[in-house]
Amino acid sequence: MGVTFEAERSDGEVVALKAMSLRNMKGWKELDLFEREARVLKSLNHPGIPAYIDYFQVDTKDDRIFYIAQRAAKGKSLEDLITGGWRVSEEKVKDIAIEVLSVLQYLGDLRPPVIHRDIKPENIILDKETGDVKVVDFGAVQDVASSTLIGSTVVGTYGYMAPEQFQNRATLQTDLYGLGGTMLYMLSGRPPSYFPQRRLKVVFRDLVTMSPELANVIDRLLEPAPEDRFQSAGQVIQALQEESRESYLVSPGLSNNSARYVQQTSAVRRPAGAQVELKRSSNMLEVAIPAHGLTQETAESGAFTVAWNAFVAVWTRSAMAGGGPVFAAFSLPFWFVGLRLAKRTLFSTAVAIKLEFDGPNFSIEWSIGTMWKHKVVGETKNLRSIDVVEEKVQDPDQGYSKRLATSLVLYEGSNKHEFGSGLQPEELEWLLAEIKSHLQLPS
């Protein structure tokens, strides 16, 4: 809202003037947002935000013009740079993102926290000579204390707006969504709205070339639900910096396979008490997941499974007696849940799993002693990705739901191979990292 242009003060300093005409306003809400921007800018002090100078108005014969004056940000917007043909490396994308995140972290640490609500390439200025990054245009800014008030205005830019903004809501995770879209734009030259969506999720992995690790970060930034994104700018900074540290120095005398092996064995640490046995060489990885047997956890899970299915059985029988097959059919979804619970309990209690990734081939074998075996074999080149299966659970101590890893799933073309049920979340994350590192797969 408003028009921004450069002006020169009497002392020769170049400033950015944002002007809004009272006569051309479409409603008083525009003036409210303009004045809010001035108030917020006056209170901010961060090297990544152009310094506030003044807010004033000038009356003319038939109009009143409101102005916000800031120090001019040197450089060009990411929008202008990309459309002008500038191409950027992954490392530069991460560097720019971390600079923006430092601003978002500062805004989030204020009390009350401040939400920009319009993070996009046009509002990020880069000075290519110095590398300085500035976040501009706080016209959509809002503090968290007022972000849920009825009557707030839907602001932002389509493609970079988080889904919750369409419901007049904004959280600290809202700006992270805009940053994810901006990073995708820098790498592809296309706005997020260009890409297909699946259940409100931007689908880009098969359309943009980038490392799986960076794709994982952007993927999480672009989660439709705020609770599924990174929860703070600091978490994203840590993720990007950890990714950069995973570039290992290897002696020039090592072969490619040996170099890859050094990277594999250095990437992650085995969690204390891990039950999984892992063997590897330069081109082979073998994973053995033992059956857990009867433990307190599997006993509790088994008891719940029995109770669940017993209840559904009684309910179905009563439905058959009182209302016939049609009424009993309503129990089918509960039977599906019960069968899944029974399968998970059986697998975690009695089933041992062995995975082998040996050069061009792989195999997965499930077994219950010598009584039963099931084996899947295939070609490694057909493995697309591996991911964690998560479930939302209620944390009684914290009073909110959280996501916990429950198993892993390996994607082979259109086939899915699930394993690892019953392992602790930390062990699943470690195993995920080991397999990804060996196969160099995206998650």
Of 65, 63, 96, the C-alpha closest to 79 is 96
What angle separates helix 212-221 from helix 174-188, to the nearest 10 degrees?
140
Question: Which of 40, 71, 102 is the endpoint of a domain?
Answer: 71
The residue written with tokens 């709205």 in the block is 193
Q: Is residue 311 part of a domain?
A: yes
* Judgement on whether residues 138 and 36 belong to the same structural domain of the protein: no
Contact call for residues 419 and 355 (beta carbons, < 8 A) = yes
Cβ contacts of 314 within 8 Å, gap of 6 or more = none
Q: How far apart are CA 247 and CA 340, in angstroms?
A: 41
**Ordered strands of the 415-419 beta sheet:** 383-395, 400-412, 415-419
CB atoms within 10 A of CB 166: 11
Domain annotation covers residue 140: yes
Q: Are residues 270 and 400 in the same domain?
A: yes
Q: Could you tell me if 311 and 432 lie in one domain? A: no
Residues 43 and 20 in one domain: yes
Q: What is the pLDDT of residue 396?
A: 46
Residues 185 and 304 placed together within one structural domain of the fold: no
Structure tokens at 135: 């976040």
Return the pLDDT at 61: 87
Kindly state whether residues 342 and 361 are assigned to the same domain.
no
342-380 burial code (b ≥16 CB/10 A, e <16):
bebbbbbbbbbbbbbbeeeebebebbeeeeeeeeeebeb
Query: Which residues, including other chains, have CB under 8 Å from residue 218's CB and lie 6 or more apart?
Result: 180, 183, 184, 204, 210
Q: 126 with 140, same domain?
A: yes
Please give the angle made by the CA atoms of 326, 330 and 335, to the nearest 5 degrees.
125
Of 393, 412, 411, the closest CA to residue 402 belongs to: 393
Both 11 and 124 in one domain: the answer is no
Q: Give the domain range for residue 369.
A: 256-291+351-439
The one-letter amino acid at 202: V
DSSP string, 59-97: E-SS-EEEEEEEEPPPSEEHHHHHHTT----HHHHHHHH
Tokens matching residue 303? 């008891």
Q: How confident is the prediction along the chain (443 residues), in pLDDT tens digits per residue?
A: 567 778 877 777 788 888 888 888 888 878 888 888 888 888 889 999 988 888 889 998 888 999 888 888 889 999 999 999 998 899 999 999 999 999 999 998 888 888 888 899 999 999 988 889 999 987 666 554 444 433 445 455 778 989 888 887 888 899 999 999 999 999 999 999 999 988 888 999 888 988 888 999 999 999 999 988 998 999 999 899 876 554 333 333 333 443 343 344 434 567 777 778 888 765 788 999 888 654 555 455 556 656 656 776 776 777 676 666 655 566 667 656 556 655 555 555 668 899 999 888 999 998 887 788 889 999 988 998 888 887 654 444 444 444 566 788 999 988 999 888 778 888 888 888 888 888 877 64
CB-based burial label for 29 (10 Å; 0-12, 13-18, 19+):
middle
Last residue of one domain, picked from the residues 52, 71, 90: 71
Q: Looking at residue 174, what is its pLDDT?
A: 92
Q: Are residues 193 and 273 in the same domain?
A: no
Name every residue whose Cβ is closer than 8 Å to that of residue 299 and which is 6 or more positions away in sequence: none
| Helix axes of 174-188 and 233-245: crossing angle, nearest 10 degrees | 40
Is residue 98 within a helix (H) or strand (E), and if so which, with residue range?
helix 90-109
Q: Which residues contact 20 (CB under 8 A, 6 or more apart)?
A: 1, 2, 3, 30, 31, 34, 65, 66
Catalytic residues: 118
CA 422 from centroid of its chain's CA atoms: 25
Rg for the chain (alpha carbons), in Å? Answer: 28
Q: Are 134 and 75 in contact (CB under 8 A)?
A: yes
Of the residues 47, 71, 95, which one is the last residue of a structural domain?
71
Is residue 251 domain-resident? no
Alpha-carbon gap, residue 430 to 63, rounded angstroms: 65
One domain for residues 118 and 153: yes
* Cis? peptide before 112, omega within 30° of 0: yes
Exposure of 9 by Cβ count < 10 A (0-12 exposed, 13-18 middle, 19+ buried)? exposed
Distance CA 138, CA 345 (A): 53
Contact between residue 163 and residue 226 where contact means Cβ atoms under 8 Å apart: no
CATH number of the CATH domain containing 400: 2.30.29
294 DSSP assignment = S
Amino acid letter at 360?
A: P
Q: Do residue 166 and residue 312 come from a single domain?
A: no
Q: If residue 196 lies in a helix (H) or strand (E), which one and from where to where?
A: none
In a domain, 104, yes or no: yes
CATH number at residue 134: 1.10.510.10
**Do residues 179 and 221 touch, judged by C-beta distance below 8 A?**
yes
Residue 250 in any domain: the answer is no
Token readout for 10 is: 């009497």
Q: Please tell me the total count of domains within the chain.
A: 4
CB under 8 Å to 179, separation ≥6 — which residues? 97, 100, 101, 104, 119, 221, 236
Domain identity same for 108 and 204 = yes
For residue 64, the domain's CATH number is 3.30.200.20
Gap between the Cα atoms of 78 and 120, Å rounded: 9
- Residue 257 sits at φ, ψ, to 5 deg, of -65, -40
